[in-house]
Structure 1
């Protein structure tokens, strides 16, 4: 199992957001974590990554307990987060942003090979490699954010709302890359675009108010009456 969250609880200050969230991401799969705004999806990713300290529960990466490992050490161990909002270095070029993602020892050893790999995934980035990140379109910036995370050569990639604010055609292209990526990396995908997520995922969980309320194969959830009514508008 690539990533396991076991009865995870966390929050901010005295506000509890997660109430015993458990999920599993199998190797070389896309696992979707679905839910509405405020459900706790981003908090789940931040807690898994260690940006938010868990109040209870455990996080396992490749079978190793990494619950108390700080975020930068988790990156060295093979976990990477693409945060919502991209958070690129706007005044740096595309390639400079990418190289910033390869700061671990393991990544530096293969930096040129990895650079070629991410350029093959996102040819547009190769074309724009000398362009400043802040001058790119939203779709191009999202490609760059994902590519920068991939420069660390992660085993598990945490993707937070990659489709937010993007045009449907751009989302379709981006999700096609995500689907192909699972040959190299295991992915936990957080999304409000439930229909698109179910199309590319191998397994999915539905989070509501900090609780997992549904889980199953995408085909099953797509036919679930509650999911259809609450999230698919059917």
Structure 2
């Protein structure tokens, strides 16, 4: 297979399924052969990213992702897509493992804010405790000239309840919880737009789309960037 890309997924599995579903839905097709060629690594046993970020005595997820990247690199994919915001904590370390580009979900998400909310000044972030505690989005948001608004402890607790209890553990999303998180960030925290900085939140948005308030959905955005890049390669424009 040539002109394919590789999805580094399984973090978690429902979010990876969401990525593939959205990618296929958005691909312009009239026949089987119009869909994109890609490999999905649903590496569900990768250790929890947040646990390691908060406590380096916990199992490190990076060696397994690096091994995945090194195993796939000889197959010569055009690019990699890393379907986990929190795993970008060691993005430079992962990119150093291959000469093949890895799309940067965080950078792409922040870049898209100018199109989602052109007049935005205050950008909120909903994400895992690891993403928030490590300041993963900080430099991207600040370099783009925005003021970052992080969730309060209560909002963070509610976010992780949705991510870990409802989606990762129970296998479903609670639309009411999800929409309340976004509303709280917009109305109570005075944000102009909210980054969904966890692919489980993107899954929640797919299941129960947020239509009242502006959100920068990291997974939806990286789906679009994947599609654009893959089609450009197919058409010989890259």
TM-score by structure 2 length? 0.28
* Structure with the larger RCO, 1 or 2 (CA within 8 Å, 6+ apart): 1
TM-score by structure 1 length? 0.28
Structure with the larger helix share: 2
